[in-house]
Amino acid sequence: MSQGNFAMSIDSLSKDALIKMMKVFSKDYLALDGLWFLGVEDKYGLDAAIQIDIKVWERLGSIEARRIKQTFDINEGGIASIVKALQLSPVWICFGYKFPELMENKAVFRITNCPPQEARVRNNRGEFPCKPVDLAYITTFAKTIDPKAKVRCIQAPPDRHPKGFWCEWEIIID
């Protein structure tokens, strides 16, 4: 059997295949995060896992935003650039989200579908108090795109949240 029948290059994939691949990689990205987190939580407890997670996601926010800026030539700053970069992040591909408010100097976004939270609830682990982790990530991500960005959590677990979304965030540029 010839290897030529099995050889493939990412450059030869169709747009549909690349989109499917990106969705798979995005799920893998979240699965890896969840697996390491559960391992740390099981061995050292939830508080220790959260403290480590904050540091990991804070660093990831700046790394990811910097790579997206470079790859997609996002040099302007401002809310529009932050929103564009967030939508290009592999983190958000698996999540359901919407932007109920988009203005020149302010964006509000909601996470309507959160696979990690849904998995925790389904596995009887309860909701993950993700607010400090997400605040660290979103803040460094936004500030990497525009250093004037300020991020405020409107609500996120452990806060109570209405049915229909998990968390809500506000990004403002003064």
The contacts of residue 6 (CB under 8 Å, 6+ apart) are none
Compute, in degrees rounded to 10, the torsion defined by CA atoms 72, 77, 78, 79. Answer: 30
pLDDT tens digit sequence for 77-125: 999 999 999 999 988 888 989 999 999 999 999 999 999 999 999 999 9
- Global confidence as pTM: 0.90
CATH T-level topology, domain 15-173: Muramoyl-pentapeptide Carboxypeptidase; domain 2 (3.30.1380)
Instruction: Look up residue 166 and give its DSSP letter.
Output: S
User: What pLDDT shows up at residue 8?
Assistant: 77
What is the SS3 assignment for 174? coil
Q: Is 101 left (phi over 0), alpha (psi -120 to 50) or beta?
A: beta
Residue 172 tokens read as 């403002």
